[in-house]
Structure 1
Amino acid sequence: MDNAWLVPLSMLLGGVFGAGVVVLVITAERTARAADVAERTLPDGVAAVIATMHNPAVVVDPSNTVVAASPQALTVGLVVRRKLVHAELVDLVDRVRRSGEMGSEDLELPRGRSGELVGYLSFRAAQLGNRYVLVTADDLTESRRIDEVRRDFVANISHELKTPIGAIGLLAETLVVAADDPDHVKKFAGQLITESERLGALTKDIIELSRLQSVDTLESSEETSVDKIVQAAVDANEVVARAREIEIVRAKRSKLRVMGDPGLLQVAVSNLIANAVKYSPDHTRVGVGVRSTKGFVEIAVTDQGVGIPEADLDRVFERFYRVDPARSRATGGTGLGLAIVKHVVGNHGGDVRVWSQPGKGSTFTIRLPEADPELTTALEEQLEEQPS
């Protein structure tokens, strides 16, 4: 072979070989980068599962950056700008990463950005592959609240029952001692009747409230006239109001109708009127108005009474809560009337609101879904067509 071809051939072979080496190096680098990216990517389906979870859940990478989070985790304020907000959670994640074992911890944490509300959450953390840590939580806030309410309810019942029971026992003993004094017997017998009536009213309200919290509260739901409910509630309070020369003024007939238990709805409206009369000065008025607005029926009870301080407005519907305990007991209140109203209205798909100013009176407004005549007629026709 002519030596003249050797140099170009060797250069060509060298170029081909060199290019091959370069290609191999570039390919290796790209493969390594792809592997690295793949390693940083969550396993298939994990992100989708996290996104559909109802409980708080997050996945964090080695830098504790949140790479996936459920909507509830964002709602309760566990994550801000892809970082865990609470140091306690970061410590839990680091502990699991070091030990390689599952960890758990119950924490009481501020909820949301305001930090005013406190949540009770039970966290569990476990490794997800080699790089990630999965953190899930059960929100125990509501169950803790219910437990606290139940404990408070039992404690309050014990306290409220103890007062009239103790008074009845003491008055009975006094009657025995004063048996020979007719005037004292008459006086103590009257007090005994008052305390027994208070005990009876309290027992009745406790039973009523317990019934309202059962699942079968609205077994007898039917379409009913709002005018009849209001009139029955007014009639139930007329005697007490007249005794103090308080005039109950009701609006004109509305012909509005709602679906529900007429008896329970009457109890709710009657309790509002009774409260208005109870806390109103003599020779004043209590107004009862009815109107329809945006598919709801509103029943408003307005008084010219002492009013409620703003700080107490959010608590007046709590069981046994009294703005003025001494005045409430003097008027025979059980502290359960407004709690019963709230439960009745809530079980009928409505709500109850209050406006008040000290010295100017209060307005309590019940809002109930207005009955749809077309839907009611269709339902009645379906029931009639069913075989008996």
Structure 2
Amino acid sequence: MAKRDYYEILGISKSASPEEIKKAYRKMALKYHPDKNPDNKEAETKFKEAAEAYEVLSNADKKARYDQFGHQAFDGAGGFGGGGMNMEDIFSQFGDIFGGAFGGGGFSGFGGGFGGGQRRVKGSNLRIRVKLTLEEIANGVEKKVKVRRKVKAKGTSYKTCTTCNGSGQVTRVTNTILGRMQTATTCSTCGGAGQIIDRKPADADANGQVYKEETISVKIPAGVVDGMQLKVSGKGNEAPGNGISGDLLVALEEEKHPKLQREGDNLHYDLYISYPDAVLGTSKEIDTVTGKVRIKVESGVQSGKILRLRGKGIPSINGYGKGDLLVHVNVWTPKTLNKEQKEFFASMKDDEHFQPQPQSSDKSFFEKVKDMFS
């Protein structure tokens, strides 16, 4: 099922300011919060949609990618941005949006994720860089990557933190000129996890964790661009106690192709032919991202001619078809000639067939450049 447009979900325009985006999300979150709509699946769905939309549109980098590539910018192995959000991710946003406005009461949410209940700690994210060839970008690929991540050591057990009684927060009441004021801060003993180490093996760290190397599969869709980032949910470092794992962030890097140059979804190829081939015509085998193809070069071709092979470029990340392969014909002029060759060209110097006779259909260099950028 196709995802709804994020701007449509929040009821805002693409030109909305960060404050307008935040205000729209706050309104939606209050309206469809599960505590206000118990056992209402439709409200729960809209609540999650609003959270996913806000997570992307509130981040300048993610918003820019969404505006350019749509939902496909976040596809692949659990998505990037809101693609793999769970209720813990959603409730983690509330502190920024509502600023603790509901105090110690408020919404309890899923597992006490909001308000005065326990908020589960999330493990740290891991970041890796994956290099891709143009062929892999054109066809999509599944990469196996090795990641060294923190996991719970065998034999480690936890117990409820006695400082916060498992809530992960410590509440303090102070007397001020305005009266008694209650504040809640993260428990310094357990770091907000609500649990502390009970037993751990000698090789584990202070959190009862060890490093483990794991092979993870990352599905990369066709048409990605250099610098794009994918997220594999839950494949970062594990959190201590009953926390949730961080994410694996995969930054994509496009490797330079020896013969093809990329420009958006289009590819460019420089084809050099000899002077006799330009005069008589020829056929040449060239590289594409799907293998080699043979193209025909008509006799009398001019240097600078562009041959367009439709659909031989890169698939659009938005699913709008494929780009083209533009073959730039370059007639190679010999720099050294023997005596016989020089005499031949000298005899042809004044021949009418060797005189430049541009046709109205022959575009100038500047016209070609203009066409390329229009």
Do the structures match in fold with TM over 0.5? no
Q: Which has the higher strand share?
A: 2
Q: TM-score, normalised by structure 1?
A: 0.20
Question: Of the two structures, which has the highest relative contact order with CA contacts closer than 8 Å and spacing of 6 or more?
Answer: 2
Greater Rg, structure 1 or structure 2? 1
Normalised by the length of structure 2, the TM-score is 0.20
Could you say which structure has the higher helix fraction?
1
